[in-house]
Structures are given as structure tokens and as C-alpha cells.
Amino acid sequence: MTQSSDSTGQTQGDRLFVALELSEEVKTRLLRLQSLIPGLKWTPAANLHLTLTFIGQVPAGRAELIRQSLHGVSGSSFRLTVAGLGLFRRETGGILWAGVNAPPALEKLKRQADEALQLSAGLNMSKKGYSPHITLSRLKKPASEPLKNLVQEKSAELFGEVIITEFILFRSFLRPSGAVHNPVERYRLIDL
């Protein structure tokens, strides 16, 4: 595992999260939305994913324990449908997202990953509700009327299906140009 440094040169450890990858076909369909609302800072195709759990910054020695703890998670592969758009609104902006269905297999995988991270790696995992979504853009200001109209128009649009055969531990590096996500390890699910 590599470690990142802050502006003072201090080692911070790793910024980690567990996620599911999307097919190139689904990413392409989601990226077509960019031409409909110019001016937003869109998530690059390489960063489009469905987060299972965000771990955050961890001390240098803890990353290996996290990597190992996820080997205890098991489950079957499953189909995930990506459909609809929505907005999480915040005072200073919000998030434009694409929705996903939440089959029992997704909920089970999320629960198992959180339990493994808590029991085996000793992390204090959040108990707040899970709202599975794919972040398309982080808004710096409140949503414009054209964006609100697009969300309403595309609220039920089907972007495709993905067969989930693995989950991935990612390391995230924050750069001035945006985050860069690198896979640390892939964990295979049992075939359908």
C-alpha cells in the first residue's frame, strides 16, 4: 500500500472505499447526459462506480488489515439495473446521481462488507441508511431549472443492466483536477 502526504509532507495513510464497477455500456449511456446540461463538472468515466461503503482516511498500517478482512465476504453474483436520475440537495449545491435498484443481494453484500470491516478490521462503520446511487456530478451551487427539468424528464430512464461478479477495494487520491481511483484488490463473487 502506498501512502499519501499532505502539504507538510506528513504521511496520512490511505483513503479507501469499497465499490462495484459499471459496464462500459452503462457508463457510455450515462456520459451522454453531459451534452444535455453543459457547464457541470461531470464525474469522469473512469470514476463512475457504485459505492458500497466509504472507509475514508486510514492509518498506514490499517490498510493491509482492511484488505485482508474483505476476504471474509462472500456472496453470489447478481444483476443490477441502473435507472433514473435524482438530486441530493444541499444548501451550497448537491449531487446529481443515477439510481440503481437495490436487490437483496446488493443489500447483503453491503451488510457483509460493513460487518467484515467492523469485526475484522476494527472500523466503526456508520449505521445510517444506504442509498445506492452513482454520482454523476457534484454541484457547487443549487440546481438550475434546466437541470431540475432534466432530472424530472429522466426520472425513470433505463441506462442498462450490469452483472456484478466482484467488488473492489479502491484507493482514492485527491488531486486539484479531481479524484483518481485505483483498485487495490478485487474480490470475486460466486457465479450465478
Question: Which structural domain range is residue 153 located in?
Answer: 4-188
Query: Per residue in 95-120, pLDDT tens?
Result: 999 999 989 999 999 999 999 998 87
Query: Per residue in 62-92, pLDDT tens?
Result: 889 999 999 999 989 999 999 999 999 877 7
- What is the pTM (predicted TM-score) of this model? 0.86
178 or 1, higher pLDDT: 178
The band of 53, judged by pLDDT with boundaries at 50, 70 and 90, is very high
Residue 93 β-bridge partners = 90
Q: 106: domain CATH number?
A: 3.90.1140.10
Query: Per residue in 152-171, pLDDT tens?
Result: 999 999 999 999 999 999 99
Q: List, in order, residues 6 or more apart from 76 with CB less than 8 Å away.
A: 105, 189, 190, 191, 192
67 or 9, higher pLDDT: 67
Count of the separate structural domains present in the chain: 1
The band of 39, judged by pLDDT with boundaries at 50, 70 and 90, is confident
pLDDT reported for residue 12: 61
**Between the CA of residue 138 and those of 42, 82, 93, 133, 135, what are the distances in Å?**
7, 19, 8, 13, 7
Q: List, in order, residues 6 or more apart from 123 with CB less than 8 Å away.
A: 55, 58, 66, 117
Q: Residue 1: pLDDT above 60?
A: no
